[in-house]
Amino acid sequence: MRTFFLGSIMVLLFTGCQSVKRDRPEIPDLNTPEHQAKVKEVERLLMRGQGYHDLGDYDSAHHEFNRVLAIDPYNQGARSGIDMAKRAKALSMQPSVLDYRGRGY
């Protein structure tokens, strides 16, 4: 009796999982080669953007993060990378205390 009950539940679970894709065609298949290529490209661009940021090239970092958003508009890593690059660029444009000391202020 117990085996029959567990077997029935397993059949229902597996058949239910198969019908989700058929019932909802708007769910994309994430295991396609195209999707995997996009994931790898997004990872590569995020790493390049972070690398440019670490080097202090904030414009190039901003550009790379925008390329990520062109592929994946909701990518939170790219959005935070753009914000980080904007803040760092703004801070780099401000004169430092040493600039004022050298000019006799």
Report the run of H or E that residue 78 belongs to, with start and end: helix 76-93
Does the residue 3 lie in any domain?
Answer: no
Residue 60 clears pLDDT 80, i.e. is over it: yes
Does the residue 17 lie in any domain?
Answer: no
Does the residue 55 lie in any domain?
Answer: yes
89 Cβ contact partners less than 8 Å away, ≥ 6 residues apart: 58, 59, 62
Predicted TM-score (pTM) above 0.85: no
pLDDT class of 30 with cuts at 50, 70, 90: confident
Does the residue 26 lie in any domain?
Answer: no
Does the residue 82 lie in any domain?
Answer: yes
> How far is Cα 71 from Cα 76, in angstroms, rounded to an integer?
12
When divided into structural domains, the chain yields a total of 1
- pLDDT tens column, 73-98: 999 999 999 999 999 999 988 876 56
**At 49, which CATH number?**
1.25.40
Does the residue 12 lie in any domain?
Answer: no
Q: The domain containing residue 55 runs over which residues?
A: 32-93
Residue 59 clears pLDDT 80, i.e. is over it: yes
